Chain A
């Protein structure tokens, strides 16, 4: 069974239909990269998956659990789906350690000592054990994003959703975040990543999904998408972002 299934997802804001029936399947251990022009509904899609935004129509399944069902305990489901935001959204009043620990003690109800050990281990995994006592405002953007990845990882998620995790970063800080993500992908984490970093897509993506105008235009493995896209618009867009963003990673 697929780890995640998105079926015919629709979302409208006022008169504007942002998602017009998106369908996706994600296997465990897979890394999917989602690309597409601005305003195409990529963020909306990610937020509909864990219902930070309520979709109007369609279904999302995490294994055999229907996320979109009214009867599901959404908090319990969200605890299993990590979310990494473009602008980090670390809790500003908490240290890096407490940011990672909060979900463990409050959501997973782990005893404090165990939660501390786990949080330290995750900070270590993203190379920031030395910054455990620092507050977000004392960290660089790259460090903040790595803490937010540690915060997601600590929950033992089945899946992590990344919404443009490097778009708010200075170019010299992008690499440190991407290398953490590349390592995660190689370790077998299941990830859906909205990004324009085509170097990342080439090196670890199992599949690239090209969205435009609220629908999936084309999807396929990176080699195929880069070399011989079936739809001209896909090739055009890939060339454009490769020029714009380079292939820094």
Chain B
């Protein structure tokens, strides 16, 4: 087989990488804040029948229970019908953010709940308010626990960002996958272009994985080793 790679593809692919990275970074950042709030509400927001708990749970179940693609198209095609005009980039960002926030809410809930209940009790016994206890005792521990699932979510979202290629029509709003498809559709070098794209995604994932592992090691609590190591 005769593979042909053309360096002229690279600038456009580079732009696609940039857009994918931007989308992922924004949605993960905003999603983390929303997810933390939703997770906290699901744990501390009163009993099962408090409206706050109910709203947060409904949100989480809805956005985890429906496909991201449906959410994207619902936003991109649905919002204009009620008079809200939204471009493909913002629609993609909004869909990804709302979606990842729901998943991250569950990671936060799990992490918060795996902090031992004695920690909250000890903090309250010292005279801390519930908010202080959450801020100074519970969250610092939960945030460490959340790094591994959060890394997974980050990698998922990086790859899922390719769904914006469904709506992006102009080159400057295309993510890596969208760019690749548009290049390949002109020169018919599908195989080569997609190999290149796969390598780009792989490289990004590897860089993120290494970086997050580093963060995980940096914030590890001394004395609490990796379970199973050295046994």
Contact = CB atoms under 8 A, between A and B. Distances in A.
Contact of B122 (A76, A91, A93, A137): A91
A64 to B, nearest CB: 19
B126 interface: yes
Interface stretch (A78-86, A185-193, A210-218): A78-86
Contacts, number: 75
B129 interface: yes
Nearest to A137: B223
A92 B127 contact: no
A102 B224 contact: no
A5 interface: no
B206 interface: no
A52 B122 CA distance: 10
Given A93-B141, A135-B223, A138-B223, A87 B126 contact: no
Contacts of A134: 222-223
A89 B119 contact: yes
Interface string A36-78: 0000000000000010100000000000000000000001111
Interface in B106-137: 116, 118-119, 121-129, 132, 136-137
Contacts of B137: 91, 93, 102
Chain B interface, >50% SS class:
helix
Contact of B224 (A75, A76, A79, A137): A137
B218 to A, nearest CB: 13
Given A85-B118, A89-B118, 13 more contacts: A52-B124, A52-B125, A78-B126, A83-B122, A85-B121, A85-B122, A89-B116, A89-B122, A91-B123, A102-B137, A134-B222, A137-B222, A137-B223
Given A85-B118, A102-B136, A106-B132, A92 B221 contact: yes
A172 B90 CA distance: 64
Interface residues of A, number: 31
B221 A76 contact: no
A222 interface: no
Contacts of A52: 121, 124-125
B12 interface: no
A107 B118 contact: no
B139 to A, nearest CB: 10
Contacts of A136: 223
Closest 10 CB pairs of A and B: A137-B223, A79-B127, A89-B122, A138-B223, A89-B118, A83-B125, A103-B126, A78-B127, A107-B127, A135-B222
A77 B128 CA distance: 11
A106 B125 contact: no
Contacts of B181: none
A158 interface: no
A139 to B, nearest CB: 8
A103 B127 CA distance: 8
A134 B222 CA distance: 8
Interface in A1-56: 50, 52
B140 interface: yes
A155 interface: yes
Nearest to B126: A103
B134 to A, nearest CB: 12
